[in-house]
Amino acid sequence: LHREFRGVTVREGMLIEGPSGWGEFAPFHDYDDEAAGRWLAAALEAAFGTWPSGARTSIKCNAIIPAVTPEVAGVLAAQAAGRDGCSTIKVKVTGDLATDEARVAAIRDALDASLGAGAGLIRIDANGCWSREAAIEAITVLSRYGLEYVEQPVESRDDLRAVHAAVDVPIAVDESIRTDRALTTASLRDLVEIADVAIIKPAPVGGVSAGVRIAEAVGLPVVISSSMDSSIGMCASLALASALDVDRACGLGTGALLATDLTVPTLVPIDGAMDVCRLAPDRDALDAARGLVTDERAIFWERRLAGAWDSQAVAPWRALLTSSA
């Protein structure tokens, strides 16, 4: 990556090639085998399955700004609006309210300068970093800069309910969906009472088809987001946004955070949007990436794959692929 993003400086993963194309298996380190199984199911769907047909050929995108200094945030926001055509910016917050406010203010100033006063949209992503009380205070303060919504301000559903009732800014949920072990219709339906927008990421929920089922069950407006994917993995998020005919800007601008990628060029927004596509890796880029993986890390990923393969989420693919082999 060009700079640290939520403690990550390097993304590692595996590509799986099948008759349908290429899938990406790249769960973060804090996902256990069962949760990583959903990532593997998403990769197997891409490689061996069929994605639902889509309604859109182009998806509007938001840019994303990490928890950088206010000065850097202003520069990145100006680049996103002026160079990439993104009128919606998602910015990370950390819980340090003074610094968070300065960062958001810098982004608002940059958007106003590039697009006109109040023309750009700002989304805040807290990743559950606030307590209930801190969330209410922070959202009240930051709302003066004009917020489209605040993503996952707190972790628990009880705290989400309290925050949702206390503030006027719409609340979006991400972790409440992708870390839900069951993802039952009942657990998803409950979110209607405590949130206004559902963030769905295909990799951690099990793929594009699973994402469609979740969107139908949750009954909220949807925004599709990536999972710090390479451009190969990003194709699944584009497919899901197309299948759901999502009109809001989706969180697919993470390619700008990558210093290197598996395709040439990297998928990034152009005029604020990205075309729906299926990509194969550039062989030279793939060889270069493979050359960075030590023997120790290769063994780690072989074990990671084996653990995920035995998960319940992969059971249908395991049966299908084992029988076909």
The catalytically annotated residue of 90, 178, 201, 304 is 201
Q: Catalytic annotation on 60?
A: no
201 in active site: yes
Structure token pair of residue 153 = 């301000």
Give me Rg for the CA atoms of the chain: 19
Tokens of 91: 């910015």
- What is d(CA 157, CA 180) in angstroms, rounded to the nearest whole number? 11
Q: Which residue has the tokens 């030279």?
A: 284
SS3 annotation, 93-157 = CCCCHHHHHHHHHHHHHHHHHHHCCCCCEEEEECCCCCCHHHHHHHHHHHHHHCEEEEECCCCCH
Q: What is the signed CA dihedral for 74, 78, 79, 82, rounded to 10 degrees?
A: 180
38, 90, 92, 304: the active-site residue: 92
Alpha carbon distance 250, 28 (integer Å) = 21
Question: With b meaning 16 or more CB within 10 Å and e meaning fewer, what string describes 275-300?
Answer: ebeebebbeebbeebeeeeeeeeeee
Amino acid identity, position 269: P
Which distant-in-sequence residues (6+ apart) come within 8 Å of 301 by Cβ? Answer: 12, 13, 14, 293
For residue 224, give the 3-state DSSP assignment. strand
> What are the beta bridge partners of residue 106?
none
**Contact of 135 with 94, CB cutoff 8 Å:** no
The C-alpha atoms of residue 322 and residue 40 are separated, in whole angstroms, by 15
Q: Would you call the peptide bond into 221 cis, given omega within 30 degrees of 0 as the criterion? A: no
Active-site residues, by number, are 92, 201
